[in-house]
């Protein structure tokens, strides 16, 4: 896999943003935490959209809760919201 200069620059900028001026191990850990948090947010949006798709296709709230590891109330809240772009 290769990356162009703009992708490398973007990644480095994000890492610096999350380092919050900290160096060494603390700065590296902060960068990983920040980048991981962004990924979790994106993945949760994808999961929620797929929960809505599965529900519209006939999956029950109980089954969706079981498969996702979420509570039935959380799944009910997700399916009641409109689809959001990922």
Q: Distance between alpha carbon 49 and the CA centroid of its chain, in Å?
A: 12
Residue 66: pLDDT over 70 = yes
Q: What mean pLDDT is predicted for residues 11-23?
A: 88
Predicted local distance difference test score (pLDDT) of residue 14: 86
Residue 82: pLDDT over 80 = no
Q: Which helix (H) or strand (E) holds 13?
A: helix 5-19
Look-up: residue for tokens 């902060």? 30
What is the distance between the alpha carbons of residues 51 and 65, in angstroms, rounded to a whole number?
Answer: 9
Label residue 85 by pLDDT band (50, 70, 90).
Answer: low
Query: pTM, whole model, 2 decimals?
Result: 0.71
């Amino acid at each position: 896999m290769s990356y162009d200069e703009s992708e490398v620059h973007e990644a480095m900028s994000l890492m610096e943003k999350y380092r919050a001026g900290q160096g060494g191990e603390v700065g590296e850990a902060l960068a990983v935490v920040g980048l991981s948090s962004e990924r979790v947010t994106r993945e949760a949006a994808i999961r929620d959209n797929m929960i809505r798709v599965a529900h519209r296709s006939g999956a029950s709230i109980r089954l969706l809760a079981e498969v996702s590891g979420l509570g039935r109330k959380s799944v009910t809240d997700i399916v009641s919201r409109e689809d959001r772009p990922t």
